[in-house]
Amino acid sequence: MLQKEKVLIVEDEKDIAELMSLHLKREGCDVEWVENGEEALKCISKNRYSLLILDWMLPGISGLDLCKKIRTEKLVGLGTCILMVTARAQAADIVLGLEVGADDYLTKPFDLSVFLARIRALFRRAQSGQSTEEENRIQIGDLVIDKDSHEVKCGKSVAELTPSEFKLLFALMRNRGRVLTRDRLIELVQGEGVSVIDRAIDTHVFGLRKKLGDCGFLIETIRGVGYRVAAAF
């Protein structure tokens, strides 16, 4: 899964950077390591990476500001994943990291098996092409959503969804493997004939899970942050 993926680690703690680098190289990745955001920007301008691993508390430009700059200025392509790995573990910090453009967020100290599993999930999502705007039919396990026919099936059972529930499910499945905050989901779900505010997202998710029956478990709650559909089952 990780063979020959090009990874840039931006981390000022040498021991942590070397540990991540060692295990990624064992998985077959081509890994580079820099200690600050300024060096990272130079590397990004010269190379194409599959994954950027950013610490938040870096000397100079913070990992948060670096992530925001990379996304807003489109310094990398849509296929480049960003994983933020940081000691900042408050729910508000996680939400902020995801909102500025990180695809996933891992808090220190972390288990190496979880670290590698998160990266594999990010690559699965990127390589599957499921996050493209143009894809109108998505299948994850037994769950299928078809935007053209406006139909959702769990196995052979058809789920009758409201417009809000349909848009919510489509957003989650299109961004499979990525945690979407409530605010981001509201942005994605709002539209003509659909009005969603504040904690109403939780109500929609509750109803959506019930209607999906045996497929309801695919929607995971990330406590204090939002929701996601796992990358693969």
β-pairing, 30-34 vs 157-159, is unpaired
- For 105, list phi and psi in degrees, rounded to 5: -145, 125
Q: pLDDT tens digit string along 32-56? A: 999 999 999 999 999 999 999 999 9
Integer angstrom CA distances of residue 14 from 18, 123, 200: 6, 25, 44
Residue 232 is predicted with a pLDDT of 58
Helix (H) or strand (E) holding 105: strand 104-107
Q: pLDDT tens digit string along 207-226? A: 899 999 999 999 999 888 88
Q: What is the mean pLDDT of the chain?
A: 87
Q: pLDDT tens digit string along 15-31? A: 999 999 999 999 899 99
Q: pLDDT tens digit string along 161-209? A: 888 889 899 989 988 888 888 888 887 776 544 455 556 788 889 989 9
Residue 110 is predicted with a pLDDT of 92
Give me 58's structure tokens. Answer: 């870096």
Q: pLDDT tens digit string along 120-131? A: 888 877 765 544
Q: Sketch out the chain's domains with CATH numbers.
A: 6-128 (3.40.50.2300), 137-229 (1.10.10.10)
The average pLDDT across 141-145 equals 92
Q: Which strand ranges, in their side-by-side order, compose the sheet holding 180-181?
A: 180-181, 226-229, 219-222
Q: pLDDT tens digit string along 49-75? A: 999 999 999 999 999 999 999 998 989
Give residue 151's pLDDT band: very low, low, confident or very high (50, 70, 90).
Answer: very high
Residue 130 is predicted with a pLDDT of 44
Percent of the chain's residues with pLDDT above 90? 53
Give residue 133's pLDDT band: very low, low, confident or very high (50, 70, 90).
Answer: very low
CA 111, 127, 125, 196 torsion-angle sign? positive
SS3 content of the chain, % helix, strand, coil (to 5): 40, 20, 35
